[in-house]
Amino acid sequence: MNNILSIHSIRFFILVFLQVIIFNHINFLGNINPYPYILFLALFPVKNNRTAIIGLSFVLGLCIDFFLDTGGTHAAACLFIAYIRPVILKFCFGTIYEHQTIKFETVEFGSKLTYFTLLTVIHHFVLFSLEIFNISKIILVLQKTLFSGIFTILMCLLITIIFTRKTK
């Protein structure tokens, strides 16, 4: 239990700092940045109670907001995916999730991809619609969601592949 706690708190700080220092200055093709800090919420243990993940998602989003001067947009987007995560988990992993034996290192690639894609698209859509805050610019919101989303999914997959322990 203690081990899990330390791993996740270290992951929290590392992801926030990487987001602020590196990922926000990539500016691919002018204005596309990935937001892979949502990996913290994606890889949060399934067993833990939902109150904890909702509280932590708020803190995580607020940390990013402080650094990026974005008001409360990241906090709102993080809260939203933290709240609907069980639904997405059930949809992507089906019976493994029902039996509470899910381990993100061992699940097959396809379902992991669906899981990340759903989380990222929902997060980015909430984020950009709150950031732009203008219903007449919905095309811009969707465009940003698409481009940033692809980038984020790629980064998330790369990070999880690189930092997974080899299991024999």
d(CA 163, CA 107): 15
CB of 117: closest distance to other proteins in angstroms?
A: 23
Interaction of residue 27 with other proteins, rule CB under 8 A: yes
Which ranges of the chain would DSSP assign to H, the alpha helix?
Answer: 2-21, 39-42, 50-68, 73-93, 95-98, 109-132, 138-162
Task: State CA 57 to chain mean position distance.
Answer: 10
Phi, psi of 28 (to 5 degrees): -65, 130
Tell me which residues in 72-101 interact with other proteins (CB under 8 A).
Answer: 72-73, 75-76, 79-80, 82-83
Cβ atoms 167, 105 nearer than 8 A: yes
d(CA 82, CA 58): 9
Stretch that binds other proteins, among 2-10, 18-26, 116-124, 151-159 (CB under 8 A): 18-26
Interaction of residue 18 with other proteins, rule CB under 8 A: no
CB of 103: closest distance to other proteins in angstroms?
A: 24
Find the binder of other proteins among 11, 12, 46, 65 (CB under 8 A).
65
Find the binder of other proteins among 31, 100, 136, 167 (CB under 8 A).
31
Residues that bind other proteins (CB under 8 A): 20-21, 24, 27, 30-33, 50-51, 54-55, 58, 61-62, 65-73, 75-76, 79-80, 82-83, 130-133, 137, 140
